[in-house]
Amino acid sequence: MAQASKLDAESTDHLNRLCLTPSQHPHDWGEADVGPQVPRLMDGWEHQPAFVLGPAPDILAGNSLATALHSGFEAFGNLARNVFVDPAGRAFYRE
């Protein structure tokens, strides 16, 4: 599919990551990508769910309330996957 779509190496890698099952996808927030200060800052927001999206839109960091809010999804690693692939997305994102 990547060749037919003429994807570059970075896009092909991202496509391959999206095709992983939830059990194959690592569940780390990628603190190295956002720095340790960002998760600490978001953890201080006790009444506001928050997460940081990368350009893919991979979820790079999130606070405990965001994790709890998205607990019905198979994995909380990519927003596009949650919206379009995960069965829970249909009920969560009604519009």
Give the model's pLDDT for residue 42: 93
Distance from C-alpha of 95 to C-alpha of 91, rounded to nearest angstrom: 9
Give the model's pLDDT for residue 31: 44
Give the model's pLDDT for residue 29: 45
Q: How confident is the model at residue 13 (pLDDT cuts 50, 70, 90)?
A: confident
Distance from C-alpha of 33 to C-alpha of 4, rounded to nearest angstrom: 30
pLDDT digits (tens, 9 = 90+) for 17-74: 777 665 665 555 444 478 889 989 999 998 999 999 887 788 888 999 998 988 888 8
- Look at residues 73, 47, 44, 46 and name the one whose alpha carbon lies nearest to residue 59: 73
Q: Is the pLDDT of residue 93 over 50?
A: yes
Give the model's pLDDT for residue 77: 82
Distance from C-alpha of 32 to C-alpha of 16, rounded to nearest angstrom: 21
The model's pTM is 0.62
